[in-house]
């Protein structure tokens, strides 16, 4: 049973295209996140959602639009893809928001924009 | 915002030796300090964490120590094995902040 699952695992697309990444967690967690990992392995928060409500939008270009239809799902849609968007995108979840808890990460989606 | 510095960026040890990775942080309100291990092609995995009311925590060969006064915490791995080779990230969390801030990672290589 995969706790946090992301699809697709790999995504290769041309500049200017629009693409989506899906994430689902079966842990019953309240909070979900999108993190971006660049080629230097740095992990940067993009968004966090608590019970379907957007909590953090960390100065991400508005070409990136997250959507949380329910607290078990958090999807990421990217419009007009650019070369600089190439990275590994990780979805994660944690138990709560008011208290701090560790994250459970998905296995990542490697996005390559050509 | 929170600033987390992690050192060293790379660390190479012989199998059986100990490895220590250190992180410093800036926000005195920080109260949660996890460590993650990321193996090649996988997502980071939580391996140990500590909260601000505890100074040290151990789990078999790994331990974390926290010095709140100096605002630093460290990961200690004893009797290293080749399967410990990975990228290790520290992170810092603040209650109600809605996120953890990650260090830049340490690539640990354990030579057999």
Cross-chain Cβ contact A48/B95 below 8 Å: no
- What pLDDT was estimated at residue B66? 96
Sign of CA dihedral B18, B48, B73, B1: positive
Contact status, residue A86 vs residue A78, Cβ threshold 8 Å: no
Cα(B16)–Cα(B77) distance, integer angstroms:
10
User: What was the pLDDT predicted at B92?
Assistant: 94
The alpha carbon of residue A53 is apart from the nearest alpha carbon of chain B, in Å, by 11
Among A61-70, B33-42, B89-98, name the one with the lowest average pLDDT.
Answer: B89-98
Run of H or E residues at A94: strand A87-94
User: Chain A within 8 Å of B52 (Cβ-Cβ)?
Assistant: no
- pLDDT 10s digits, A17-48: 999 999 999 999 999 999 999 999 999 999 99
Q: Strand A10-13 relative to strand A109-113: parallel, antiparallel, unpaired? A: parallel
CA distance B39 to chain A (A): 10
- The pair of three-digit structure tokens given for residue A47, joined into one six-digit string: 């968004």
pLDDT attached to residue A52: 87
Identify the residue whose tokens are 């190439």: A86
SS3 label, residue A17? coil
On the question of pLDDT at B95 being above 80, the answer is no
Give the integer Cα–Cα distance in Å for B54 and B71.
Answer: 13
Q: Using one digit for the tens of pLDDT, what is the confidence trace for B4-53?
A: 999 999 999 999 999 999 999 999 989 999 999 999 999 999 999 999 88
Q: Are A106 and B42 in contact (CB under 8 A)?
A: no
């Amino acid at each position: 049973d995969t706790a946090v699952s992301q699809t697709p695992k790999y995504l290769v697309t041309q500049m200017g295209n629009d693409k989506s990444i899906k994430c689902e967690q079966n842990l019953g967690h309240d909070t979900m996140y999108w993190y971006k990992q660049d080629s230097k392995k740095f992990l940067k928060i993009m968004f966090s959602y608590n019970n379907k409500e957007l909590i953090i939008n960390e100065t991400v270009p508005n070409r990136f639009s997250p959507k949380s239809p329910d607290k078990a799902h958090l999807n990421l849609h990217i419009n007009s893809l650019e070369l600089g968007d190439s990275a590994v995108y990780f979805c994660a979840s944690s138990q709560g928001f008011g208290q701090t808890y560790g994250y459970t990460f998905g296995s990542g989606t490697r996005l390559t924009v050509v | 915002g929170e600033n987390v510095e992690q050192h060293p960026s790379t660390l190479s040890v012989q199998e059986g030796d100990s490895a220590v990775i250190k992180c410093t942080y800036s926000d005195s309100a920080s109260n949660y300090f996890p460590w993650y291990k990321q193996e090649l092609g996988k997502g980071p995995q939580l391996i140990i964490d500590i909260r601000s009311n505890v100074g040290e925590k151990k789990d078999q060969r790994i331990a974390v120590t926290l010095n709140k006064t100096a605002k630093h915490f460290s990961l200690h791995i004893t009797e290293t094995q080749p399967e410990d080779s990975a990228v290790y990230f520290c992170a810092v969390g603040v209650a109600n902040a809605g996120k953890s801030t990650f260090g830049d990672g340490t690539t640990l290589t354990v030579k057999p």
